Amino acid sequence: MKVCVVGGGGREHALALALARTAEVVLTPGSPGMAGSCRGDREAGAPLAGSAFGGPGERISVTGAPPEEVDAELFVIGPEAHLVDGLADRLRSDRRLVVGPGADGARLEGSKAFMKELLAEAGVPSARFGVFDDLGEARELLRSLPGPYVVKTDGLAAGKGVLVTESLAEAAADAEAKLSGRAFGDAGRRVVIEEGLSGEECSLMVLCDGSRVAPLAPARDFKRVGDGDTGPNTGGMGAYSPLSEVGDDLVGHVMEVAVEPLVGALRRRGIDYRGVLYAGLMLTDEGPKVLEYNVRFGDPEAQVVLPRFEDDLTGILAEVASGRLRSEPRFSKKAAVCVVLASGGYPTSPATGDVVEGLGDAAAIPGVSVLHAGTDLDSAGRVVTAGGRVVDVVALAPSLPEARSSAYEAAARIHWKGMIFRRDIAAEAAARGTAAEAAARGTAEGPER
């Protein structure tokens, strides 16, 4: 089968590598470094035999053609903006199989107000909230909440439209900047104000064929730019999977209280949702609560969930797209860690055009794949930075501490002027894993948490 992956970031590169185990893959627009990376081009990506994604996968190409003009049977749409814009509808009207909801279902992510209202209607546990076009009313709700305060743009803001703060004054100023259009243009002219929830976060992506649902492995991403969860929210600075504290029981519970009721509510509105439902969850003392729903694979969550996926990804996504989901996704017991390497200035004003070195050396580490998240080739054929998130290193290994260590070894081999990355991706979980192993061996020693 020929599969077209729409998008040009690390998530789409991961999808292409995972699909290429069983399909011919064309990316649009992709980026030049992704083409043929399965063949192990020295600077372009992972030598496949030892990569995190495995499989033969010789056939990945990129094209500048718009998706509607790509000759493929199955389309997997990465970025939410295309879905909100109705790309899935246009492809379906041309009788193509598509993984991704139409514009009706994509409103779940395109409007946080719509999403919150649907969750309330479906009785899905979530933070208390209000939706405002008016600053005075927004301030009133803020004053009535205990804090921390959460202010979100209603519209799309590439993961950067959310402020969480302990300061009422900062929350009010942020609401004003959003509502005035200064901060996020039209996306912010309506805001959602929420009570702040606390707990560990978890991303659960679920396949949905319109009625049947099947969960993928849970993952955790790191949204803030700085170590120790400091600085502004980004698109995501790293991720890992599995999560030792999110087992099958908890996943089953989330499916029951958060996913199935939502799919019911979508169906009652006549929405035939075929694609990925991504639940961003807070594991609170009162149980899991939904922070947000996204309508596509997570980035960088896909980069750590897909390497663990066993079986034929192309086949199961074709089932999703054709409304005949029968297979149960299965995942290896291995662990995957992704560290995002970003340009200095990300997320506000990332520098571009700097030459990236060391990709081949990084990809030579067993179990490591190097994904192109925001790169281009210059006129001399060198890989250069072309976005905020530039390269993702992904490592798959028998345990989380090993995967983490390989990912950071790979990160250390890559450099460009001003490169930044977080040093604490999966650190706590890996320390817990090492401590648990030490305890199992009957020693009292473990690393400090």
Q: Which residues bind ligand AMP (CB under 6 A)?
A: 127, 150, 152, 159, 162, 164, 194, 196-197, 201, 223, 233, 280, 291-292
Least distance (Å) from ligand GLY to the CB of residue 261? 22
Nearest-CB residue for ligand AMP = 292
Q: Which is nearer to ligand AMP, 100 or 159 (CB)?
A: 159
Q: Rounded distance, CA 111 to CA 428, Å?
A: 34
Least distance (Å) from ligand GLY to the CB of residue 239? 7
Is residue 299 part of the contact set for ligand GLY (CB under 6 A)?
yes
Q: 34 to 93, contacts with ligand GLY by CB under 6 A?
A: none
Whether the CB-CB separation of 347 and 223 falls below 8 Å is answered with no
Q: Which is nearer to ligand GLY, 111 or 294 (CB)?
A: 294
Is residue 236 part of the contact set for ligand GLY (CB under 6 A)?
yes
Is residue 374 part of the contact set for ligand GLY (CB under 6 A)?
no
Whether the CB-CB separation of 60 and 37 falls below 8 Å is answered with yes
Please choose which of ligand AMP, ligand GLY, none residue 299 contacts, taking the beta carbon within 5 to 8 angstroms, the exact cut-off set by kind.
Answer: ligand GLY
Is residue 294 part of the contact set for ligand GLY (CB under 6 A)?
yes
Stretch of residues binding ligand GLY (CB under 6 A), selected from 57-65, 173-181, 251-259, 291-299: 291-299
Nearest of 267, 240, 304, 241 to residue 52 by alpha carbon: 304
Is residue 354 part of the contact set for ligand GLY (CB under 6 A)?
no
Q: Which is nearer to ligand GLY, 19 or 162 (CB)?
A: 162
The 3-class secondary structure across the chain, one letter per residue, is CEEEEEECCHHHHHHHHHHCCCCEEEEEECCHHHCCHHHCCCCCCCCHHHCCCCCCCCCEEECCCCHHHCCCCEEEECCHHHHHCCHHHHHHHCCCEEECCCHHHHHHHHCHHHHHHHHHHHCCCECCEEEECCHHHHHHHHHHCCCCEEEEECCCCCCCCEEEECCHHHHHHHHHHHHCCCCCHHHHCCEEEEECCCCEEEEEEEEEECCCEEECCCEEECCEEECCCEEEECCCCEEEECCCCCCHHHHHHHHHHHHHHHHHHHHHCCCCCEEEEEEEEEEECCEEEEEEEECCCCCCHHHHHHHHEECCHHHHHHHHHCCCCCCCCEECCCEEEEEEEECCCCCCCCCCCCECECHHHHHCCCCEEEEECCEEECCCCCEEECCCEEEEEEEEECCHHHHHHHHHHHHHCCECCCCECCCCCCHHHHHHHHHHHHHHCCCCCCCCC
Nearest of 357, 354, 363 to residue 37 by alpha carbon: 363
Q: Which is nearer to ligand GLY, 85 or 409 (CB)?
A: 85
Beta bridge mates, 74: 3, 97
Q: Rounded distance, CA 192 to CA 111, Å?
A: 10
Least distance (Å) from ligand GLY to the CB of residue 446? 30
Q: 117 to 176, contacts with ligand GLY by CB under 6 A?
A: 159
Q: Which is nearer to ligand GLY, 161 or 298 (CB)?
A: 298
Please choose which of ligand GLY, ligand AMP, none residue 8 contacts, taking the beta carbon within 5 to 8 angstroms, the exact cut-off set by kind.
Answer: none
Q: Which is nearer to ligand AMP, 154 or 392 (CB)?
A: 154
The phi-psi region of residue 309 (left if phi > 0; otherwise alpha if psi is between -120 and 50; otherwise beta) is: beta
Q: Which is nearer to ligand GLY, 44 or 99 (CB)?
A: 99
Total of residues contacting ligand GLY (CB under 6 A):
7
Least distance (Å) from ligand GLY to the CB of residue 343? 18
Is residue 221 part of the contact set for ligand GLY (CB under 6 A)?
yes
Least distance (Å) from ligand AMP to the CB of residue 147? 11
Least distance (Å) from ligand AMP to the CB of residue 115? 9
Please choose which of ligand GLY, ligand AMP, none residue 150 contacts, taking the beta carbon within 5 to 8 angstroms, the exact cut-off set by kind.
Answer: ligand AMP
Please choose which of ligand GLY, ligand AMP, none residue 341 contacts, taking the beta carbon within 5 to 8 angstroms, the exact cut-off set by kind.
Answer: none
Please choose which of ligand GLY, ligand AMP, none residue 301 contacts, taking the beta carbon within 5 to 8 angstroms, the exact cut-off set by kind.
Answer: ligand GLY
Interface characters, 241-280, with ligand GLY (x: CB under 6 A): ----------------------------------------
Single out the residue of 43, 89, 301, 319 in contact with ligand GLY (rule: CB under 6 A): 301
Least distance (Å) from ligand GLY to the CB of residue 2? 26
Q: Which is nearer to ligand AMP, 84 or 162 (CB)?
A: 162
CA angle 316, 322, 325 (to 5 degrees): 45
Q: Which residues bind ligand GLY (CB under 6 A)?
A: 159, 221, 236, 294, 298-299, 301
